[in-house]
Amino acid sequence: MSTRILVVDDDPEVIRLIGQVLRSAIPPFDVEAVGSAAAGLDKLAAEPFDGVLLDYRLPDIDGLACLLRIRQTYPDLPVVVFTGSGSEEVAVEAMKLGASDYVVKHGKYLTRVATVLREALGRSELQRIAARHGSPDEAHVPTSTAGPSAAFRERLHAAGVVGDSPAFALALALAERAVSSTATVLLTGESGTGKDVLARAIHEHGARASGPYLAQNCAALPETLLESELFGHVRGAFTGADRARRGLFEEASGGTLFLDEIGETSLVLQAKLLRVLEERCVRPIGSSDSRPVDVRVLAATNTDLLRAIDDGRFRRDLYYRLNVFPVRLPALRERGDDILRLATYFLERFATDEGKVPPRLEPDALELLVGYAWPGNVRELGNEMHRLVLCAEPGERVGASRLAGEIVAAPRAPGVIGRDAHRPLREIVNEVEIAEINSRLREHGYNRSQTAKSLGITREALWAKMKQLGVAVRRRIAPTAEEEEQ
């Protein structure tokens, strides 16, 4: 049975174009269209629909008022709102009122409509599955608006940065702040969580977007080759150096250098990286002269760098040079609401790449996908969807038996669906604050005056925050006179 979509828009040309796009999609949508809010509400009362495309500007009442009335009567019906260019605040308000997503009528917006609709329908299906797993209230929770701005989220979608669970939204909100900054960013998280994709997005949407973006996996080369790759060398610096070569720091000047797996570098190389970050200049191997560089550094690791510091494997001073702006990417198992959305995105993308019709996931396959722990995170999910596209017949409905053996055989972890994805944002923010305060306390020998100064707050404010968050008070050094007076 085709997916039935109701289009509510008073522009006949838009209705014609949307109808063409949706009816020619693979698989096609069954489209009905009306020209006013009243006609749309009457149509919904008379016939069943799977989703609604709703224009913000309508001749009788505005789209947000119509959205409210739809939500009151049909709380689970996916509704995607059309907004005009430059009206991102309207899109944000629509999301607050319960819209599943929005599309800005600007540029090549028609190319995104089918994908946005499928994602909205997919989230609705995931909420129904979650409700059957003991979280009945989740089916009535609108998409969270906490996190990045609608405009930033729109720009990231094309790069494959997909997801709106609270844990992931917090990471994107921090990334958006990093875009407008020149600070060094440290991306942390398990392997496969998308640190490299987010690093590129931070570069492409920032002030250095017109400059080069270069990336180096620090675990991919031995120390001597990595040093040459990063800093360059002069002719004759070592055997085989028959000509001078500029390093990545120089090549990326005016742009961004992404250092992935920074935790795998040697202590010797870490000292040289520290010098570059402090002095903003590089000295090629074999040269006695330093060369200035203008480069923003983004770094990433799946290693616990604080533990590596305690073990003597990572320099504390380099850690604090890198950790100016930390962004943690959550594991996929912490993003329950995003699993189906990502699966749909990957099926559509890989089917397009392979020139095939995407398969459709049966409910029993969806159950396994959202219940699996995904040790390989987003990368593993993407690989599994790519495999399904290659192995399934065009448009085939894929059941659980067609999934990879490890997914089918894996024990179901209770509460995986939405386990962390529906936690209050305040709870997630508290965890971030606790981790940062503990980190700064360790750095300053548990001296609260110095810790407060490094955080840009007063000692009294730090003390109140520690009490509020339940941060344990420890001292490794003698208290200052100020602290003794406290």
What is the rounded average pLDDT of the residues 435-461?
Answer: 76
Q: Is the pLDDT of residue 265 over 80?
A: yes
What angle do helix axes 63-73 and 37-46 make, rounded to 10 degrees?
20
Confidence of residue 123 (pLDDT cuts 50, 70, 90): low
Lowest mean pLDDT among 35-39, 132-136, 355-359: 132-136
- The position carrying tokens 């929770």 is 141
3-class SS letters over the chain: CCEEEEEECCCHHHHHHHHHHHHCCCCCEEEEEECCHHHHHHHHHHCCCCEEEEECCCCCCCHHHHHHHHHHHCCCCCEEEEEECCCHHHHHHHHHCCCCEEEEECCCCHHHHHHHHHHHHHHHHHHHHHHHCCCHHHHHCCCCCCCCCHHHHHHHHCCCCCCCCHHHHHHHHHHHHHHCCCCCEEEECCCCCCHHHHHHHHHHCCCCCCCCEEEEECCCCCHHHHHHHHHEECCCCCCCCCCCEECHHHHCCCCEEEEECHHHCCHHHHHHHHHHHHHCEECCECCCCCEECCCEEEEEECCCHHHHHHCCCCCHHHHHHHCCEEEECCCHHHCCCHHHHHHHHHHHHHHHHHCCCCCEECHHHHHHHHHCCCCCHHHHHHHHHHHHHHHCCCCCEECHHHCCHHHHHCCCCCCCCCCCCCCCHHHHHHHHHHHHHHHHHHHCCCCHHHHHHHHCCCHHHHHHHHHHHCCCCCCCCCCCHHHHHC
pTM for the model stands at: 0.56
- Enumerate domains of the chain plus CATH numbers: 3-141 (3.40.50.2300), 166-328 (3.40.50.300), 332-409 (1.10.8.60), 425-485 (1.10.10.60)
% pLDDT > 90, the chain: 33
Q: Is the pLDDT of residue 33 over 90?
A: yes
- 83 or 304, greater pLDDT: 304
Confidence of residue 122 (pLDDT cuts 50, 70, 90): low
Q: Please report the pLDDT score of residue 421 as a whole number.
A: 42
Q: Please report the pLDDT score of residue 147 as a whole number.
A: 57
Tens digits of residue pLDDT in 295-328: 999 999 999 998 899 899 999 888 888 887 888 9
What angle do helix axes 338-354 and 363-371 make, rounded to 10 degrees?
120
Tens digits of residue pLDDT in 169-217: 888 888 888 887 778 899 999 999 999 999 998 998 888 999 999 999 9
What is the residue-averaged pLDDT of the chain?
Answer: 81
Q: Please report the pLDDT score of residue 173 as a whole number.
A: 82
Query: Please, which residues bridge with residue 461 across strands?
Result: none
- 48 or 118, greater pLDDT: 48
Q: Please report the pLDDT score of residue 40 as a whole number.
A: 94
Q: Please report the pLDDT score of residue 214 as a whole number.
A: 96
